[in-house]
Chain A
Amino acid sequence: MIGEGFASELARAQGGDEAAFAQLWRDLNPALLRYLALGGEPADDVAAETWTSVVKGLRRFRGDERAWRSWVFTTARRRAVDAGRRRARAAQVEVASGQWQVEALAPDPADAVVAGEDTDAALRLVAQLSPLQAEVVVLRVVAGLSVEEVARIVGRSPGAVRVATHRGLRALEQVVANQGVTPSRAGTL
């Protein structure tokens, strides 16, 4: 979060100031990449498409920093869906079977999370939740959005977002709690 200086940074960026735009980008791009890592698409590509869309609408945007973050993540979600549809059309058969193969061979992410604070490992762990749970957890924890904001982004009711968040966190808690005893079960979450 940029905080107090956000309004002036946004105004300068909307006036064409590259440094101000870079500041906005630096503040949000890491969270954006972590959110997009949940999807099967290359997060860098989708993030770049997201920023392209954001820049196109930048002049028209009005709102505070919370609205800004909501807007950027809403845009990111649309670009991710677009990318998913493109990929689905391009390779309909082989990807579905190949994906599980890769996941099964990957090292257990829970090991790394407990040992250190590996961001990628934590995100891989979250990615094993149900799609809705994973998405709402990342939007709440990483993007720092409120329940209501997340609800608008994912197109669900605030109640559904609360439930999905709780269930996702409970599942993660169980994985972490059980990880020391039976690490191999983490992958079956």
Chain B
Amino acid sequence: MRSVLRNPDPGRRPSAKDVLPESLTAGDEQPAALRPLLRAMAADPRPHELSGFDQPLASFRAAFPSTRPAAPKIWRPAMLSTLLGAKLGATVAGVAVALGGTAVAAYTGALPTGAQNAAHTTIGAPAATPKPTATPKPSTTHQPVGPDATGPAAFGLCNAWSHHQGKTPEAGDEPGEKAGDSVAFRNLAKAAGGEGKIAAYCAKIPHPGNGHGNGKGNGHGHGKDKQAAHPTGKPTGNPTSTAK
């Protein structure tokens, strides 16, 4: 503090022989002549000494942000994002409904991550038109139905399944996520007549809708393919060439 004080030390010292009471706060022991001055120094607060709370309060609010009531500057963006989120959710739901009942499962995460992505690329809106009899086993519970593996969704499901087979187990999937857990996979396995027959079943699924004639003969053409022997390959990597 010495360096910041306004006045230099005058150097003139009063005599130190006079003994003053140790306790300055005990008013009775102070020299009578000094009492008014000491009282004035420690007088009650003046208004201007209690008027500068804005800045300390701002500092306090910056240090303790979560405890004060939400200010408009804080909750407006939060509310906006909430509304935005609700609108986004409604949009997603609307799109899902528009795509049709059985396709919803694929769009709402009924498939494992890898299969879901593949299904997304292969199940287009036209291909995903569900059959009226989409539920082979009418469920009385609220279990997800999943796509009908015997209908138009079969190709997409097979595609997704083959992508999933090509992956190293547990490499990118969430822990505990297995193809066998998903409704779509169970549907596919059911349509094929067992999990072990999926490869053979999928080999008979024709590619939907490309330019060349896709008569029934195509399906027989690669029915004897060896996809079942090597399920880790990518049999549907270029479906048009295999179908030929």
Contact = CB atoms under 8 A, between A and B. Distances in A.
Q: Do A and B come from one complex?
A: yes
B80 to A, nearest CB: 26
Contact of B9 (A22, A130, A166): A130
A85 B18 CA distance: 37
B31 A173 contact: yes
B4 interface: yes
Given A18-B68, A142-B42, A176-B33, A189 B6 contact: no
Contact of B63 (A44, A55, A132): A55
A118 B42 CA distance: 10
Nearest to B3: A84
Contact residue range for chain B?
A: 35 or more
A119 B37 contact: no
Contact of A117 (B6, B18, B39): B39
* Residue among A48, A59, A113 with max Cβ neighbours from chain B (10 Å): A48
Interface in B1-51: 1-7, 9-10, 12-16, 18-20, 22, 24-25, 31, 33-34, 36-43, 45-46, 49-50
B1 A38 contact: yes
Interface string A73-88: 0000100110111001
A142 B41 contact: yes
A176 to B, nearest CB: 5
B37 A40 contact: no
Nearest to A50: B56
Contacts of A118: 40
A127 interface: yes
Interface residues of A, number: 75
A160 interface: no
A84 to B, nearest CB: 3
A76 to B, nearest CB: 10
Contacts of B37: 113, 122, 125, 172, 176
B3 A141 contact: no
Contacts of B135: none
Contacts of A141: 24-25, 38, 41-42
Contacts of A41: 4
A47 B49 CA distance: 10
Interface string B49-70: 1101101110111111011100
Given A130-B9, A172-B34, A167 B16 contact: yes
Nearest to B57: A18
Given A39-B1, A171-B14, A121 B19 contact: no
Contacts of A117: 36, 39-40, 43
A113 B56 CA distance: 32
Contact of A140 (B1, B5, B18, B24): B24
A81 B68 CA distance: 33
Contact of A22 (B4, B19, B57): B57
Given A18-B61, A40-B5, A117-B43, A26 B50 contact: yes
16 contacts: A25-B56, A29-B56, A34-B41, A40-B6, A44-B52, A55-B56, A55-B63, A116-B40, A119-B43, A127-B6, A141-B25, A167-B13, A169-B34, A172-B34, A176-B34, A188-B10
Interface of A: 15-18, 21-22, 25-26, 29-31, 33-34, 38-41, 44, 47-48, 51-52, 55-56, 58-59, 77, 80-81, 83-85, 88, 99, 103, 113-114, 116-119, 121-123, 125-128, 130-132, 134-135, 138, 140-142, 144, 147, 154, 162-163, 165-167, 169-174, 176-177, 188-189
